[in-house]
Amino acid sequence: MSKSLQNKNNSSDDKNAKSAFAQRFRGYFPVVVDVETAGFNAQTDALLEIAATTLLLDEETGLFSLDETIHFNVDPFEGANLEKAALEFTGIDPTNPLRGAVDEYTALTGTFKLIRKKMKAAGCQRAVMVAHNASFDLGFVNAATERCLIKRSPFHPFVSFDTTTLSGLALGQTVLAKACLAAGLEFNNSEAHSALYDTEKTAELFCFIVNKWQKMGGWPLVIDDEAQLHAEPSNND
């Protein structure tokens, strides 16, 4: 083989080599998200806040940490329903001009731009939403994406990582505040129900659980040769 051809092959192998981040979640790029809303119905109730936190993976230790957070206050879309009980619970006044709110399109495109940039840098191909009660947050993001006629979201349309389930397994708690405290993480109830605060706390919780699993020997997998996974059983099996 000529030296130039060998260098070309080596270059191709480098490009095709998956980053540790991409290998960890089979090409998915986890992004922690929280939304604050004016109700429970993603089709009719207003999206009032959205925040997203990206993560970093230390390739030497294999541990995850928080990277960057983006946050928007959002104006209710035209005709949106505003449930009084939901507004009282979150303490959000959608009419307050000091919120500096933007429309849904601006909030989503700004969030998606950051996610795509970080996802590409990590060598991943699709984002997966991490959230506490993830189906709720994903439902509101998907509905707003459709309303804004955004053709392609970086998020998988239905796959998600739910920290409610993960913390129930790892910590015996499903409420965000109680799960954080069980993990030894600070949690200030007076700051809760803000998308910015809840997102970063959920991100800390997710990193704690994933990192704890890694420290317990759950990653990397004991069997890392894919051929072994598909090997035919021996006569002694």
Active site residues: 193
For residues 182 and 172, the answer to whether their CB atoms sit within 8 Å is yes
Distant-in-sequence contacts of 124-127, Cβ < 8 A, 24+ apart: 124/19, 124/21, 124/22, 124/25, 124/27, 124/28, 124/29, 125/22, 125/27, 125/28, 125/29, 126/27, 126/28, 126/29, 126/154, 126/155, 126/156, 127/28, 127/29, 127/30, 127/31, 127/154, 127/155, 127/156
Complete DSSP assignment for 20-66 = HHHHHTTTEEEEEEEEEESSS-TTTBPEEEEEEEEEEE-TTT--EEE
